[in-house]
Amino acid sequence: MARNKHPEETVNLILDVAFQLFMEKGYEHTSIQDIINHLGGLSKGAIYHHFKSKEDIIAAVIDRMTEESNQMLAKVRDRDDLTGKEKLKAIFKESILRPVQEDIFTVAPNFSNSPRLLFCIFRETMDEAAPDYILPIIRQGISDGSIQTDYPEELTELVMLAANIWMNPMIFDDTVEESYRKFMVFRQMMEGFGLDIVDEELLDRLQELAFIYQKNR
């Protein structure tokens, strides 16, 4: 195999293949050899030239998955024309309206048989997304009076756990009705915290998304 003048293409190819296989068979049941076989001529040395371990590959895969989501979160977080509560509402709306999610749905049946992948999403959500993006917004909400709580860190965690993990149809293999019901319960929970951030448009879009997901499984 000839050497590639643009190594980033090779890296992306490896990540594409790895992502696909991790989703289909799970991280632990995907061997390096599996990845090689789907690489079209590239060898084991190529992989270990670009990545220092199998672990390193999954880290990169997760990074690529969450990158644009995090960019959106940062953009909303850094706006200065919204209150904390309005930012929360904007984020929930964006994350549901974002068309990219459809691509992921079509490729990813579910995370159910991939403990490692679920674990990484879990960590990324709780250790990165929550404190870096949502917490500052909730703190701002406390300052500007749009959010009331004595425990911003914990409220952030619980909300992220519900929204990013529990309501993630890739993790929980939900049907249309289940997704809808979760959203209703989520809404009630948020209202219990004084946060009415769910409107009818969001509910409609959710049902639409769940339907798309339903078709491709």
Per CB under 8 A, residues contacting a second copy are 28, 115-116, 118-120, 122, 126, 149-151, 153-155, 157-158, 161-162, 165-166, 172, 178, 181-182, 184-186, 188-189, 191-193
Figure out which of the listed residues 21, 24, 38, 54 binds DNA, where binding follows CB under 7 A: 54
Half-sphere exposure of 208 (CA within 13 A, CB side): 12
Residue 46 in contact with DNA, rule: CB under 7 A: yes
Residue 215 in contact with DNA, rule: CB under 7 A: no
Distance CA 46, CA 205 (A): 43
- Does residue 116 come out as left (phi exceeding 0), alpha (psi in the -120 to 50 range) or beta? alpha
Residue 200 in contact with DNA, rule: CB under 7 A: no
CB of 12 to DNA, least distance (A): 10
Residue 42 in contact with DNA, rule: CB under 7 A: yes
Figure out which of the listed residues 12, 16, 22, 33 binds DNA, where binding follows CB under 7 A: 33
CB of 109 to DNA, least distance (A): 21
Residue 55 in contact with DNA, rule: CB under 7 A: yes
Task: Give, as one character, the DSSP assignment of residue 113.
Answer: T
Residue 31 in contact with DNA, rule: CB under 7 A: yes
When CB distances are held under 5 to 8 angstroms depending on the partner's kind, the choice from a second copy, DNA, none that residue 108 binds is: none
Specify the residue, 82 or 155, whose C-beta has the smaller distance to a second copy: 155
Phi, psi of 94 (to 5 degrees): -60, -45
When CB distances are held under 5 to 8 angstroms depending on the partner's kind, the choice from DNA, a second copy, none that residue 210 binds is: none
Specify the residue, 46 or 130, whose C-beta has the smaller distance to a second copy: 130
- Does residue 3 come out as left (phi exceeding 0), alpha (psi in the -120 to 50 range) or beta? beta
Residue 115 in contact with DNA, rule: CB under 7 A: no
Distance CA 19, CA 139 (A): 35
Q: Which of 53-61's residues contact partners 24+ apart within 8 Å by CB, and which partners?
A: 57/14, 57/15, 57/18, 58/18, 58/22, 58/27, 58/116, 58/117, 58/120, 59/120, 60/11, 60/15, 61/15, 61/18, 61/19, 61/22
Distance CA 198, CA 21 (A): 35
CB of 188 to a second copy, least distance (A): 7
Residue 4 in contact with DNA, rule: CB under 7 A: yes
